[in-house]
Amino acid sequence: MRNFDFYAPARILFGKGEENRIGELLKPHATKVLLHYGGGSIKKSGLYDVVTASLKASGLSFVELGGVKPNPRLSLVYEGIALCKRENVDLILAIGGGSTIDSSKAIAMGVYYDGDIWEVYEQGKVIKKALPVATILTIPAAGSESSGDTVITNEERQLKYGYGSPHLRPLLSIMNPELFFTLPKNQLANGVADMMSHVFERYFTNTTHTDLTDGLCEVTLRTLMKNALLANKDMKDYDAWAELGFSGTVAHNGLVGMGRQQDWACHGMEHELSAIYDVAHGAGLAVLTPGWMQYVYKDNINMFVQFAVNVMGVEGSYRDPDAIVQEGINRLREFFCKMGLPGTLSELGVGEDRLEEMAKKSTGAAFGEEKPIGGLKKLYWQDVLTIYKLVK
């Protein structure tokens, strides 16, 4: 086990009806709130009315900024920063999924950042302060409700970059599984693929002596797969959504990756797809992950045998390790397929013409300074290109 620093202060208020408490919960921390949200589904569902009534009942004033899109855009972030400064907002309440929360975090640090907030993403500058962010989660997927991470798309430059800071950990997040009942099935599927990837990126490692976190990862993955199939059958299955939502938080609050070398190559490769083709992040990950496994598994076959046996339920005794791993990867592909997720880049609408460009961008080779991505196996742009082609 490696040394680690675990800090996950986001308070999670979980269960039926918790959104009614938002005013009372924010009252000690805010006077003027920015409500940040997406395309207006929260107005149709009635959540908007619940939240605004609760804020008013607690004597909190608020301003609003809707319009967050999947792969949240830098242009809206700029708008949010200006609005918060103009209105003296002292807390941002994100109502939505990862895109809305990530956009809120960008605005939260932008209010205090002296310069163009995109620099922080592009150059990894260290921020010292951010407005507090609270969230009401409507899509379990990104884990942004507990993480200190944010991913923003610079739509003009077709770049999608992530950034992380302890200052961006949400103050508190409300997670009521009932709010997930009205999601379309593809958002369930994309979300599950994203949550599973957050575990995979931490699970596949060359670090040894990781009994506890190995097991935590495996339990989280099995819980996600079991309950994804249940929710897929009945989109109003409270218990299934409860397991998915809670698992999504555990998947990305840092815990299951503590003391381990982590990987993150699949996220890096996927961000290139999203930046150019605006594909759903989870769908992109569902395509890339089995291809990545196929390409890298021989570098640490024991880890992939463990995955096949402990996560995918492959019978592991007295068998050829390659065959076990292959069956594990196949079962993962089958699971994604059952969830209606795509299996190839072409199903995502990604052609072959820009694969090399994306591969070169993913490692920085396109910008003159290549840094291989991935922990378990270092991937250069030629490796990434091979993986893209494996799943084309």
The residue ranges that bind its own copies (CB under 8 A) are: 1-9, 11-18, 208-209, 211-213, 215-216, 218-220, 222-223, 226-227, 239, 242-243, 246-247, 250, 255, 258-259
Q: Which residues of 150-181 are buried (b: 16+ CB within 10 A; e: fewer)?
A: bbbbbbeebbbbebebebbbbbbbbbbbebbe
Tokens of 95: 């109502």
Give whichever of 215 and 349 is closer to its own copies, judged by the CB atom. Answer: 215
Instruction: Look at residues 374, 140, 347, 139 and name the one whose alpha carbon lies nearest to residue 250.
Output: 140
**Could you tell me the smallest distance in angstroms from the CB atom of residue 209 to its own copies?**
4
Q: How far is the CB of 372 from its own copies (least distance, A)?
A: 26
Q: How far is the CB of 183 from its own copies (least distance, A)?
A: 19
CA distance 253 to 277: 28
Q: Which is nearer to its own copies, 212 or 323 (CB)?
A: 212
Q: Could you tell me the smallest distance in angstroms from the CB atom of residue 34 to its own copies?
A: 24
Identify any residues that bridge with 154 across adjacent strands, giving them in sequence order.
Answer: 159
The nearer residue to its own copies, 154 or 223, going by C-beta atoms, is 223
Q: How far is the CB of 10 from its own copies (least distance, A)?
A: 8
213 or 274: whose CB is closer to its own copies? 213
Nearer to its own copies, 138 or 146 (CB): 146
Q: State the nearest-atom distance from the C-beta of 223 to its own copies, in Å.
A: 5
Tokens linked to 36: 């940040």
Q: Which is nearer to its own copies, 242 or 379 (CB)?
A: 242
| CB 176, min distance to its own copies, A | 9
Residue 311 to residue 304: CA distance in whole angstroms: 10
In 3D space, the residue among 270, 286, 99 whose CA is nearest the CA of residue 193 turns out to be 286
Query: Which three-class secondary structure string do you get for 285-301?
Result: HHHHHHHHHHHHHHHHH
Q: Residue 115 CB, nearest distance to its own copies (Å)? A: 25
Nearer to its own copies, 57 or 212 (CB): 212
Nearest 5 degrees, angle CA 26-CA 29-CA 32? 80
- Give whichever of 5 and 369 is closer to its own copies, judged by the CB atom: 5
Q: Which is nearer to its own copies, 259 or 343 (CB)?
A: 259
- The residue among 8 and 82 lying less far from its own copies, judged by its C-beta, is 8
Strand ranges across the sheet with 32-36: 61-65, 32-36, 91-96, 133-137, 172-175
Place of tokens 């999947």: 70
Q: Among the residues of 234-264, which ranges form H helices?
A: 238-252
How far apart are CB 138 and its own copies at their closest, in Å?
18
Least distance between its own copies and beta carbon 246 (Å)? 5
SS3 273: helix
Return the closest-CA partner of residue 134 out of 165, 90, 164.
90
- State the virtual CA torsion across 66, 47, 162, 147 in degrees, nearest 10: 150
What is the C-alpha to C-alpha distance for residues 190 and 196, in angstroms, rounded to an integer? 10
Q: Distance between CA 218 and CA 203 in Å, rounded?
A: 8
